[in-house]
Structure 1
Amino acid sequence: MGPQEAPRTTWPKNAWYVACTPDEIGQKPLGRQICFERMVFHRGRSNQVVALEDFCPHRGAPLSLGFVRDGELVCGYHGLSMGCDGRATSMPGQRVTSFPTIRAFPVLERYGFIWVWPGEADQADPAKLHHLPWAESPGWAYGGGLYHIACDYRLMVDNLMDLTHETYVHASSIGQKEIDEAPVNTRVEADQVVTSRFMEKIAAPPFWRMALRGAGLPEDAIVDRWQICRFSTPSHVMIEVGVALEGLGGYDAPADRKASSIVVDFITPETETTHWYFWGMARNFAVEDTALTDTIRQGQAKIFGEDLEMLERQQDNLLRHPDRRLLRLNIDAGGVRSRMMIEQAIAAELAAAT
């Protein structure tokens, strides 16, 4: 694929994607490519987030190399100022009323993230944003991070919808042989693909021993463990995970007898072979313990770093051998059905366009 060649359709565009976190938009504009669209983010006069095409209409320079002045984006090449609607407002020694406009993307700031809609602006409905109840509740704590990963975003969806790999990729943190031994169930619920696995009367792996300590529970206790992965379009995966003191109901055990959380995964395509991975964990125990939040974040960073290496090298192999047929096993059902849901969303967009 040449540098100017747009990819074939591999993702829905009429959807809300996480573009960045609020702390990434500071005094300088932020440039980011999302669904092959090069965008620039900054804050306008009233502190609202603005997303524009990262292209100066004068000479095509990236506006992300400019600066923000009085809530407007100023090109760092010749000083052209761009309004929040994508219209040129001023330029030293020039009249700009006839300058072409650039694209402005719908954008939302909600749940601690900046969301962007790369598709048709007139279809950008805030009501279509994935609802995150935990992000609005004081009874939950959240910590996370961001990785840029050189692989097709759908490989990450596959990875998250089949946690069998934990036994091998994450053997020192969250993996254990019981994951392999426990049956996995896959089903479709309304607009979600759900895979679930339950393990009873097992020893907690290192990461969950740490979580048990944080929840004020004995780290060496025998536990019941669960993993419930929920995929929703365009590319979000929320994973309910946890351990409870054995024999008390597992997933349904009393809150003070378990350590449970939601692994948060927002996967934002950049190109056909790269994506932005916003990861984190929302927990509803020891929510005031900021040190525990940092410890969990560090643990997750290590875990997801192990995924990063595996996925990037997997992508390299697939590019080297594009004609090789890959196997589909029962453990792959969650990823397969998630991809089907993605394809259905893309097909619906194409049908509406034609």
Structure 2
Amino acid sequence: MSTPKPSTFPRNTWYVAAKAAEVQDQPLGRQICGERMVFYRAQEGRIAAVEDFCPHRGAPLSLGRVCEGKLVCGYHGLEMGCDGKTIAMPGQRVRGFPAIKSYAVEERYGFVWVWPGDREQADAALIPQLQWHDNPEWAYDGGLFHIKADYRLMIDNLMDLTHETYVHATSIGQAEIDETPCKTEVHGEAEVVTSRFMQDIPAPPFWQMALRSNGLADDVNVDRWQICRFTPPSHVMIEVGVAHAGQGGYEAADAHKVYSVVVDFITPETDGSMWYFWGMARKFNPGDAAVTEQIRAGQHKIFSEDLEMLELQQRNLADYPERQLLKLNIDAGGVQSRKIIERLIADEQAMPVLQAAVA
């Protein structure tokens, strides 16, 4: 008997599975943590999620339709309930049909959140709070990428922004990022923070645009900050911005700065692929839709550059699995984040053993 491959992602936790707007009249099939799921709107528009597997002939339920809040298989018309139990099938008795897996799922902040593990452990209170959602002082927009790379590579990427100097040289990169040391701290058992504060430097093109959009001069030096916060299972929020130099930097009054949070929800699809939900919540000039679109387009270009780098990095790592990678001080944020992920996985794997011992 072959030894099962160890898991590379926690399951008893909340992941972003989709943007809420993706789940409307038709079911949405998506693979999360190696499991094929189908998301749909049941009675009264409530989000539901079950295994994407019809118990009749194994057809994907995501190829079916939603009728009066019921998920109908597109192969032979089997009707599936939110609890994974078959409701009915034209001309057939379905009482003996085996149930399929159903998932704890929540719609919040414009996203669909799913708990891939034991639904009895799912607690909606554990979904992170997003202060900027539906807040008139903030504006938000973003997108979704499917990336053929291990989700942990994206966490490494976001917890070490030194790469901006090279990968994003024409937008947010500048030499001062390399020249300014970063600081990494671990807060408790579930947060890693890597921060970098740059003083009295020129603003790169992206931040010049942001300053102009907020009615601020873009041809003077600025103080710039990057504060990357990892929380499990794979969420990274990055406080970013610039203020006119000498006005207090990160603590400057709103009249002298542009402040945003880069939103990164990284959801593993398989061991070598991910769903990457990205966006920017900004706390300046929130009512200007043109600025919102300009920032979204700029982010799309920036993250497209990351996509290419990560997919080719994944290819190299797959081709040379025996090679040991170097770990430098700039890698501390990613290293500490991975330690938290590894601990969560180990705790989940130990739980069945502990339960069996107690029984």
Q: What's the TM-score, normalizing by structure 1?
A: 0.97
Q: Distance in 2 between matches of 1:71 and 1:253?
A: 51
Q: CA deviation at 1:136?
A: 4.6
Deviating 4+ runs (over 2 angstroms): 5-8
Aligned residues: 351
Residue 193 of structure 1 aligns to which amino acid in structure 2? V
The aligned amino acid for 1:259 is: V
Q: Equivalents in 2 of 1:108, 1:86: separation in Å?
A: 17
Give yes or no for contact 1:204–1:219 (8 Å, CA) kept in 2.
Answer: yes
Alignment deviations for residues 167-197 of structure 1 (CA, whole Å, 9 cap, x no partner): 0000000000000000110001122100000
Structure 1 residue runs without a partner (length 5+):
none
Residue identity over aligned pairs, in percent, reads 63
Alpha-carbon deviation of 1:100?
A: 1.0
* 2:230 paired residue number: 231
Contact residue 47 and residue 105 of structure 2 kept, 8 A: yes
RMSD between aligned residues: 1.2
Of residues 119, 124, 143, the one that matches 1:126 is 124
Q: Who is 2:90 aligned against?
A: 92
Task: Show structure 2 runs of 5+ residues with no match.
Answer: 354-359
Give the conservation status (yes or no) of the 8 Å contact 2:21–2:110: no
What SS is found at the alignment partner of 2:316?
helix
Secondary structure at the aligned position of 2:45 is classed as coil
Name the aligned partner's letter for residue 124 of structure 2. P
Match of 2:356 in 1: none
What is the TM-score normalised by the length of structure 2?
A: 0.96
How far 1:209 sits from its partner (Å)? Answer: 0.6
Q: 1:7·1:272 contact (CA, 8 Å) conserved in 2?
A: no
Q: Look up the equivalent residue of 2:144 and give its one-letter code.
A: L
Match of 1:75 in 2: 73
Q: 3-state DSSP class of the match of 1:242?
A: strand
Q: Could you say which residue in structure 2 is the equivalent of 1:180?
A: 178
Is residue 2:155 matched to residue 1:157?
A: yes
Deviation at 1:6, TM superposition (A): 7.4
Tell whether 2:138 aligns with 1:140. yes
Question: Which whole-Å CA distance do the structure 1 matches of 2:136 and 2:15 have between them?
Answer: 24
Partner of 1:12 in structure 2? 10
Q: Which amino acid aligns with 2:289?
A: T
**Code of the aligned partner of 1:197:** R
Distance 2:57 2:198 in 1: 60
* Partners of 1:79 and 1:91 within 8 A in 2: yes
1:208 alignment counterpart: 207
Match of 1:334 in 2: 333
1:133 match: secondary structure: coil
In the TM superposition, what is the alpha-carbon distance from 1:352 to its structure 2 partner? 1.5
Cα distance in 1 between the residues matched to 2:112 and 2:78: 26
* 2:357 alignment partner in structure 1: none
